[in-house]
Amino acid sequence: MSRTPNRPPQSILVVATLGIAFLALPVVGLLQRAPWSSLDDLLGRRAVLDALRVSLTVSAVAAAIVVVLGTPLAWILARVDIPLRRLVRALVVLPMVLPPVVGGTALLFALGRRGLVGQWLERWFDLTLPFTMAGAVVAATFVALPFYVVTVEGALRTTADDLEQMAGTLGASPLTVLRRITLPRLLPAMGAGLALAWARALGEFGATITFAGNLPGHTRTLPLATFQALESDPEAALALSLVLLAVSLTVLVPTRDRWLPTR
């Protein structure tokens, strides 16, 4: 798509600037209150390092699961004529619109120790998800998966499958087509979806505290630690927020232009 060389209308510029200010203001607020002088000390605390480690581990594992589960799911939604597709798609998007606390409660009733499936996990495999890091991964995956699926599905639907069909007529096996044509064309969208899903997993709070609980070193992620510190130690809460901000920006800013379509 080509950009118009004309100057955009004044009114649009004004409103867009307001939008930028609205989004930037909270970040500025955070930065100006940050305890810069004692930051070294605050960030070196065991509680902060524990939360950072839990957050990075949980969000990384969740992101990996999201790619493994989400890529075939997106492909099926975009390319295969499955029954009840609308219903399936609504189900996939549901965690995006559901309040995370509701998601966490739903996970408890499904995978909790007395949940629909959870009771059998515990009885047969001695596997308990609540109050474990695996539970935090489940919560993060649940809320992050739709972001990846929606992004990749959108890309699959907007790229025509003409090359795939051509390769098929020329004798390439379906797997070769997938490996040599579909996946390489899909990589940018997969990267964009992964970045969004990872960011969502990193910021996850409600489903985690509801389903996985809050234990330092195991399930207390950066957002939970921030919430915990806010009432008792606001300085530490600010420091934790800065860590979260820095980690998010480090991953999102360099990848933004490469992965998110900039048309």
| Residues 37 and 238 sit within 8 Å (Cβ to Cβ) | no
135 vs 48: CA distance, rounded Å = 21
Residue 235 in contact with another protein, rule: CB under 8 A: no
Residue 151 in contact with another protein, rule: CB under 8 A: no
Alpha carbon distances (Å) from 197 to 25, 65, 77, 95: 24, 11, 18, 12
Sketch the per residue contact string, 129 through 148, with another protein: x for CB under 8 A, - otherwise.
Answer: -xx-----------------
Size, binding site for another protein by CB under 8 A: 21
Residue 162 in contact with another protein, rule: CB under 8 A: no
Of 194, 172, 235, nearest in space to 74 by CA? 194
Alpha carbon distances (Å) from 48 to 18, 38, 131: 35, 14, 19
> Which value, in Å, is the radius of gyration of the alpha carbons in the chain?
22
CA atoms in the 13 A half-sphere facing the CB of 207: 29
The correct pick among 232, 257, 262, 263 for binding another protein (CB under 8 A) is: 232
Q: Which residue's entry shows tokens 């307001």?
A: 18
- List binders of another protein among 37-96 (CB under 8 A): 85
Residue 203 in contact with another protein, rule: CB under 8 A: no
Q: Which is nearer to another protein, 198 or 241 (CB)?
A: 241
The runs of H, that is alpha helices, within 9-132 are 10-33, 39-43, 46-79, 85-97, 100-111, 118-125
Q: Which is nearer to another protein, 54 or 108 (CB)?
A: 108
The correct pick among 30, 57, 227, 260 for binding another protein (CB under 8 A) is: 227
Contact window for another protein (CB under 8 A) among 56-64, 111-119, 196-204, 255-263: 111-119
Residue 258 in contact with another protein, rule: CB under 8 A: no
Q: Cβ of residue 175: shortest distance to another protein, in angstroms?
A: 26
Residue 110 in contact with another protein, rule: CB under 8 A: no
Site residues (vs another protein, CB under 8 A): 85, 108, 112-114, 128, 130-131, 157, 209, 213-216, 219-220, 227-228, 230-232
